[in-house]
Structure 1
């Protein structure tokens, strides 16, 4: 069932990538600055968790400008990669980056919705979504779709920002998320609605609650790992059908 922050997500993005179309040209810069340069490190952790077999096929949901898709293709030099995102502008930038990395033969980017994937059952050896699941209005449906298109036992990896709640750095980290991130986002993107980032992080379920949701849709061997003092959660599981 959609959660209380779904209306805010739909208001900001229209449910079809419009908000991300508007900030696409500055999206990579925003990520670098607001993550204090840690976003690449987090994505590499996700790629290392994929367990792709030789010649495997990987699906990257909410691929955006294709950073995770490119990182996977570089690490797994015999893999095929499909990236999907609702934002046409983000995908256009991603295709340029894929071409610059000379990966166009192995990396394909398509427009689509994580809640209704345009792929057959059991199509991929691994499926991931990085910094995107919190923006999906029906997360349960997206998880069900990930489970459906993954081959039995295929790896499911989810990387998502979180609001630190414990430890000495929790308080300053929350201040950064609540006050610094929205101002930087508004300044660099020219969009006052970038405050939604802070709100969506705060509204995202706890790691335990989200891991339970993953189990409820049939995923197995679910594991949740915190990175960077709780600023990010890395979830991993296997397709359970």
Structure 2
């Protein structure tokens, strides 16, 4: 067997998430102490979709956010894109059980090269996925490109808590407890990656600047639950403004 066939999948890749797909949802509930559901609802509200909207959920995983969008906006259609076939298979089962297959479509895809025309969706969301994208700046440019003028790009991501006693407790939880619980419950060492990826993610100030450089006007950058997560909301700059920014 060749070295290529036996090497471990890249951390954060679709293949890595294939390995934990079956238990991903229950692990999220336990590891976030149930807070991830409330964070997703906040992100969905921030999309502020118009009637009969077309929304794009990147790094959709098992389709939690896509389903929340479909339920919150009953006349919207949602496309969920993810590089992991295993995660999408779990999501397809959930859509069938919820009767949402006619309004939520799941596709294999890469946030760095979106298979959509310019200004072709009314809103883009990505929850807990942007830190896994190798070229984040490219993905942000793609989100700005496919979103119609006046639409919103909403990014929900875990972050490194920084200040105060609660920040210290949250950092201890993320660095010491989350990887151990994740590994114990899933039998997979991939959850060590969670700690490293959160620690390596840019600060809110740096990430907000990245959004602006990618052609997004940032309208919100809010810490959630003592900074354990952050919500970023942007709108595409007009073409003239983009040229001036460049």
The answer to whether TM tops 0.5 is: yes
Task: Point out where structure 1 has 5 or more consecutive residues left out of the alignment.
Answer: 1-9
Q: Which of 22, 27, 30 is the aligned partner of 2:19?
A: 22
Q: Which of 229, 232, 239 is the aligned partner of 2:229?
A: 232
Deviation, 1:168, is: 1.9
Task: Point out where structure 2 has 5 or more consecutive residues left out of the alignment.
Answer: 1-8, 239-246
| CA shift digits 1:17-56 (9 cap, x unpaired) | 0010000000001100110010100000000000100000
**Which structure ranks higher in relative contact order (CA pairs < 8 Å, sequence separation ≥ 6)?**
1
In structure 1, distance between residues paired with 2:200 and 2:39: 21
1:98 aligns with 2:132: no
1:130 aligns with 2:123: no
- Secondary structure at the counterpart of residue 28 of structure 2: helix
In structure 1, distance between residues paired with 2:131 and 2:164: 24
Q: Which of 49, 54, 59 is the aligned partner of 1:52?
A: 49
1:108 aligns with 105
In structure 2, distance between residues paired with 1:235 and 1:191: 30
1:64 aligns with 2:57: no
Choose 1 or 2 for highest CA Rg.
2
| CA shift digits 1:160-209 (9 cap, x unpaired) | 00111012201111111111011111112211232010000011011111
| CA shift digits 1:97-137 (9 cap, x unpaired) | 11111111111000011001111111100001000000000
C-alpha contact 2:130 2:157 (8 A) present in aligned 1: yes
In structure 1, distance between residues paired with 2:224 and 2:11: 28
| TM-score of the two chains, using structure 2 as the length reference | 0.91
Q: Which of 133, 139, 144 is the aligned partner of 2:141?
A: 144
Aligned length: 231
| TM-score of the two chains, using structure 1 as the length reference | 0.93
- Secondary structure at the counterpart of residue 151 of structure 1: strand
1:35 aligns with 32
Deviation, 1:84, is: 0.3
| CA shift digits 1:71-98 (9 cap, x unpaired) | 0100100001000000001001101111
C-alpha contact 1:58 1:82 (8 A) present in aligned 2: yes
What root-mean-square deviation, in Å, do the aligned CA atoms of Structure 1 and Structure 2 show? 1.3
